[in-house]
Amino acid sequence: MRIPLTSRCRARARFRFAIVVALALVASAPASAEDKRAFTIEDFYRVNTPSEIDVSPDGTRLVYALASTDLARGKRNHDLYLLDTRGGEPRRLTWTADVSETSPRWSPDGSAIAFVARRGENDQVWLLPASGGEARAVTNIATGVADPMWLPDGTAIAFVSRVHPECGADDACNALRLDARAEGPLAAHVADELLYRHWDSWGEHRVAHVLLVRIDSGRVVDLTPGPREAPLFAVSGGGFAITPDSARLVVVQNADQVETLARSTNGDLFSVAIGATPNPVSAAPVNLTASNPAWDGEPQVSPDGRYIAFLRQAVPGYESDLTRLALLDLATGAVRLLASEIVDPIETIAWMPDSQEIVFTKPHHGATPVFRVALDGSPAREVARLARIDELVISPRGRFAFVKRSAVGEPHEIWRIDLAGADAPVRLTHHNRELERDVDIRPAEWIWVEGAKGQPIQVFIVKPHGFDPAKRYPLILNVHGGPQMMWADSFRGDWQMYPGAGYVVAFPNPTGSTGYGHALTRAISGDYGGRVFDDLRRITDALAKLSFVDADRMGAMGWSWGGYAMAWLQGEKTPFKALASMMGIYDLSSFWGATEELWYPEFDLDGVPWESADYEKFSPSSRAAKFRTPMLIVTGERDFRVPYTESLQMFTVLRRQGVPARLVVLPNSGHWPGWYEMALYYTAHLEWFQRYLGGAAPPWTTEDFARNLVFDPKTGARRRSVEGAP
């Protein structure tokens, strides 16, 4: 059952005499769980994941991409599938072994499916007849394509491409510059302003533009010419939309001064008139939301063309500000908020076909409930709650929503939700039935712990394979990144890999988390080393008292901000015998100087290092002399969010003081490991925690996997030299 959270006062009374007050089972393990085997690294790569759902114009069929992986051969592929919206077995549409097809989009008349594939040097838009046959290329441009969207009249497809601004849609101009950089004798990065790189890529004097290709002629034109990112990379939400009459593009762009872009979250909605060729842009863009100095994004035009629904924040420079649902009247330009009673960030939004209601999701206590809200200002009403929902599309008649859904103990599949609430949700796909049949995929439970300020803190717990309540098990506490996010009731490797190796794992949502009201989220800004760590201490104490936890064998790990938390914990006495930091921060001042999005540290740490004392006060480097706990450190050389030099510093300080540590650097990974590098990530963690906590060892060693000695990539067979490795 679920433990309701009523009022703050009642909650405080309930928590007064006990830290742990409820253990709520989300989903009990199946009766045959003891007959299944433990989840392993190789099982993680057996998971098939559907995504990018699109519903046909007549509402009878879904098209989606399915990701599958061959760990032994180092291959990952996406193929397109077709599924009846009533259910049944899906039909595979594409069979290219070494080419992925993604981003499927139905044509407005339902006769064809556009998709993106790299059947050459770059991703291109392809067109596949819905009745069957061979796909044909619609584009052939040097800069590649992403995020295709049909014009509603079916004459063209808009898409995003990173072009040289002086070239725009001139492919020869772009190709010359790309070839010169790739083939020339010199490699160099040159920048005059900040945001010269982002996530894992250098800007290279290229910007995102919305281009448009005509289906009949193949002619490509630039709808957002100029030096700016248009669409802007998202703080939250999608980048562009097209009006139902195919006459206007609505695109997110930042109009602030170039020199302020690295510290500004001011995305605005711009309207661009789409004219007929040869002059596709007939007028200058119009800023529709200029009065808001904070983020506006994910525009969705109503089916009747009267409104734009979008997501809005109110605080400039605060990327984790409460994201609200806003409505813009295209006739008057007036903007008003809907569902203003919601105190968690709204995520996915979609129009009902009658243009009178909007469907949206938001995080809540680790779940993602689905809501409907009318335009008349009445409160939103919940229509479904299905653990974690990552995608949502509405059927043409508005009866159903089709979602990508998962839970801790259930891999991602496609479900159908009755938006009237009359029928129970229906699971439509079963792409992981063999895995679910053979492997013990553990469900989550949770406890509530009284936090530092008396608020209840939710902690998800996954028990190990073969759990015996009479035994005591080692425990790993996993602190999430963000820090403004939440651990959700969602399938992911961390929730299964360690229980499969004999660990209890705990995933807390302390101060700073989303899904528990914005006040809890906002409380971490300006207090990095304070209240949140009081929460974590209380949580650790509560976990140590659980009858099935061995308090002498506890470890902790974290990624991004969670990696920062591991570095901070190094500076104090804890019960943890081992720590693991992934893409974590060691020194806040050096982090500020090398990261790309300055708005994040400058808001959360109250300014720049030479003006704010928070950088020194909350920097783990200020406590380096106290570091004593063995630590695994994993980082990516292409991580421009938390540059890998932070991890190098952490490793140097530990080893210089004689503290056991291991450093794993992934040259091709950014702020999270690539899909194949994840196998090394899990191997290193299992090996590290086995050394200090005593769980099961990984099926191969970190050294062997890092040197590509485990599998023969041609045959997929295990190499004999490591078959007996622990």
Q: Which positions ≥6 away from 178 have C-beta within 8 Å?
A: 142, 143
DSSP SS3 for 506: strand
Q: With 60 as the cut, is the pLDDT of residue 236 above it?
A: no
Name residue 51's amino acid.
Answer: S
Is 482 in the same domain as 505? yes
Q: Which two tokens stand for residue 287?
A: 């800023």
Report if residue 593 sits inside a domain: yes
Task: Label residue 282 by pLDDT band (50, 70, 90).
Answer: low
**Does residue 19 lie within any of the structural domains?**
yes
Walk across the sheet containing 369-374 and list its strands. 349-351, 357-361, 369-374, 381-385
Q: What integer is the mean pLDDT of 413-422?
A: 94
**In this structure, which long-range contacts are made by residues 603-608, counting pairs with CB atoms below 8 Å and at least 24 apart in sequence?**
603/317, 603/318, 603/319, 603/525, 604/524, 604/525, 604/526, 604/528, 605/526, 605/528, 606/526
Beta strand 576-582 with 549-559 is parallel
Q: How far apart are CA 542 and CA 187, in angstroms?
A: 54
The token pair that represents 550 in the structure block:
């061995």
Domain harbouring 609, CATH code? 3.40.50.1820
- Based on the domain organization, do 486 and 555 belong to the same domain? yes
Asked if residue 635 and residue 589 are part of one domain, the reply reads yes
Residues 34, 53, single domain; the answer is no
Q: Grade residue 15 by pLDDT with cuts at 50, 70 and 90.
A: very low
The predicted-structure confidence for 656-694, as pLDDT tens digits, reads as follows 999 999 999 999 999 999 999 999 999 999 999 999 999
Tell me if 647 is assigned to some domain.
yes
| CA dist., res. 383 & res. 372, Å (int) | 7
**Residue-wise DSSP of 530-598:** THHHHHHHHHHHHHHTSTTEEEEEEEEEEETHHHHHHHHHTTS--SEEEEEEES--S-HHHHHHH-S-T
Q: State pLDDT tens for residues 156-194.
A: 999 999 999 999 999 999 999 999 999 999 999 999 999
**3-state class of 685 per DSSP?**
helix
Tally of structural domains, the chain: 2
pLDDT of 20 higher than 50: no
Helix extents (H) in 570-722: 588-594, 599-604, 614-617, 645-656, 677-693, 702-706
Q: Is residue 340 part of a domain?
A: no
Please check whether residues 33 and 65 belong to one and the same domain: no
Residue type, 223: L
Residue 10 has pLDDT above 50, yes or no: no
Whether residue 124 has pLDDT greater than 60: yes
Starting at the edge strand found earlier in the chain, the sheet holding 388-394 runs 388-394, 400-407, 410-418, 426-427
* Inside any domain, residue 520: yes
CATH (domain of 100): 2.40.128.660
131 lies in the same domain as 16? no
| Interatomic CA distance for residues 157 and 151, integer angstroms | 6
Domain extent at residue 537: 8-40+436-695
The beta strands (E) that lie in 47-202 are given as 49-55, 61-70, 75-84, 91-92, 101-106, 112-117, 124-129, 136-137, 146-150, 156-163, 197-198, 201-202
> Structure tokens of 325?
């649902």
Tokens for 531?
A: 């209240």
Pairing of strands 248-253, 268-273: antiparallel
CA distance 672 to 582: 8
CA distance 546 to 675: 35
Last residue of a domain, one of 95, 119, 138: 138
> Same structural domain for residues 484 and 574?
yes
Specify if 529 maps to a domain: yes
Q: Can you tell me the distance from the alpha carbon of 123 to that of 113, in angstroms, rounded to the nearest whole number?
A: 16
pLDDT at 275: 76
- Model confidence at 120: pLDDT above 90: no
Same domain, 71 and 25: no
Residue 3 has pLDDT above 60, yes or no: no
Does residue 475 sit within a domain?
A: yes
Same domain? For 470 and 532 the reply is yes
- Quickly state the pLDDT bin for 79 (edges 50, 70, 90): very high
Q: Are 128 and 113 in contact (CB under 8 A)?
A: yes
Is residue 238 included in any domain, yes or no?
no
pLDDT at 31 (0 to 100): 40
Termini Cα distance of the chain: 40
pLDDT-derived band at 132, boundaries 50, 70, 90: confident
Q: How far apart are CA 704 and CA 722, in angstroms?
A: 8
576 and 458 in a common domain: yes
Residue 154, pLDDT above cutoff 90 = yes
The pLDDT of residue 19 is 36
SS3 call for 69: strand
Taking Cα atoms as reference points, which of 642, 527, 536, 533 lies closest to residue 582? 642
Question: What integer pLDDT is reported at residue 157 of this predicted model?
Answer: 98
| Mean pLDDT, the chain, integer | 93
Sheet holding 91-92, edge to edge: 49-55, 61-70, 75-84, 91-92
pLDDT of residue 80: 98
Q: Give how far the C-alpha of residue 665 lies from the chain's centroid of Cα atoms, to the nearest Å.
A: 22
Distance of CA 713 to the CA centre of its chain: 29
Q: How far is CA 700 from CA 41, 247, 705, 706, 723, in A?
A: 10, 58, 7, 10, 8
The DSSP 8-state label assigned to residue 294 in this structure reads S
- The reply to whether 670 and 612 lie within a common domain is yes
With a pLDDT cut of 70, the percent of the chain lying above it is 93
Q: Are residues 95 and 119 in contact, defined by beta-carbon separation less than 8 angstroms?
A: no
Whether residues 15 and 125 share a domain: the answer is: no
Give residue 42's pLDDT: 97
**Closest by Cα among 700, 691, 702 to 726:** 700
